[in-house]
Structure 1
Amino acid sequence: MRWNLDSSHTNVAFSVKHMGLFTVRGQFKKAAGLVVTNEKGVPERVEATIEAASIETGDAQRDAHLRSGDFLDVENYPEIRFVSRKVEALGEGRYRILGDLTIRGTTREVALEAEVSPPVKDPWGNTRIGASASGTLNRKDFGLTWNQVLEFGALLVGEEVHFTVDVEAVAVPEPAAV
């Protein structure tokens, strides 16, 4: 079965250390994608596309810098893309999703730990599932290398990025047999 991400109920959030002291949190406001499950509801494929320019951290100057060539370079790389390669069941609705993440034209394998809800009917007759996934990546692996070493030795921007993805997906009706 195919499920489309409901963009109004999808959140892609991240956090990174600033000056080794404070955690800056942000999110991408525009994401789309799909999940394909087998007849038992087990995820088999996950694809997602994030609009890189939709990044928000609550500070307009920082957001502009993150969109610039120093970081995401959104003019040349407007999308961040994830395509799963393998989904491993961990039990009790939990999965490890291995896949290719492409940021700024560089693709690296990442692992997500995900928890998927059982399907439910919404008030409008649609079938929905929910999922939460999380992971960590090193931004330098994707060419995001801009930084400054501070007087006391800490980095201005941490290299490790933690991310969480919370989604709701709506089942796409199967076409009627002819």
Structure 2
Amino acid sequence: MTSLRLFTSLTAVAAFGAATLIAMPAEAAPVVDAAKSDVSFAIKQMGVPVEGRFKKFDAQLAFDPKKPETGKVAFTIDLGSATMGSPETDVELPKATWFNTPKFPQATFQSSAIKGLGGGKYEVAGKLSIKGATKDVIVPVTLSATGATATATGTFAIKRLDFKIGDGDWSDTSMVANDVTVKFKLQISGLGAL
């Protein structure tokens, strides 16, 4: 009789524990609010700085600011959403010479390591793929928080010809510089305390 009572009590405790675990919400992954975020690029054309931006992008984050080395970042940019603010230029960007969006609709970044530098600063190493070419990049990121919302900002440089952006006649770097500066400001919810 005692064994039966003990078994029943243990079963009840196990059932309660399982029900509690099922009822507990899983820790939500951080979410980037694309509508309140910005990804832009800057380049010099005949020595004059020009800027553009991407209107559509998505990010998947698994990141704890207290354990950055365990984090992962995956970022996707819709290259067809690129705009430089001029209809004449914007109609050229999807063409084969530039982004070739019919063949390569997206650029992607996949992190391989995240290093905390202190003071809300991080280095995110990973692979950037654009137009069929993949290169290793290191992206410096600064995180700041206001209430439950965090902001990630950063700037890094790439060489456009490494990714065959501006092929053919446009590979002349006296016309369009090879150096491209990429900037981002991402609003993130659910990141946790910094």
Structure 2 residue 170 is the aligned partner of structure 1 residue 143: no
Distance between the aligned counterparts of 1:66 and 1:39, measured in 2? 37
Among 40, 50, 55, the alignment partner of 2:82 is 55
Instruction: State how 1:1-178 maps to structure 2 within 5 Å.
Output: 2-19=29-46, 21-38=47-64, 40=66, 42=68, 44-118=71-145, 120-121=147-148, 128-146=149-167, 147=170, 149=172, 155-171=174-190
Contact 1:10 1:31 in 2 (8 A): no
Contact 2:161 2:171 in 1 (8 A): no
- Cα deviation for residue 120 of structure 1 reads 2.4
Aligned to 1:125: none
- Cα deviation for residue 105 of structure 1 reads 1.5
Letter in 1 for 2:180: V
- Cα deviation for residue 65 of structure 1 reads 1.4
Give the SS at the match of 1:13: strand
TM-score, normalised relative to structure 2? 0.77
For residues 111-156 of structure 1, give each alpha carbon's deviation from its aligned partner in whole angstroms, at most 9, with x where no partner exists: 11110123623xxxxxx3210011000011112242164xxxx621
TM-score, normalised relative to structure 1? 0.83
The structure whose residues are more often helix, as a share, is 2
Letter in 2 for 1:30: K
Letter in 1 for 2:49: T
Gaps of 5+ in 1: 122-127, 173-178
Distance between the aligned counterparts of 1:164 and 1:3, measured in 2? 20
4+ runs of 1 displaced by more than 6 Å?
Answer: none
Gaps of 5+ in 2: 1-26
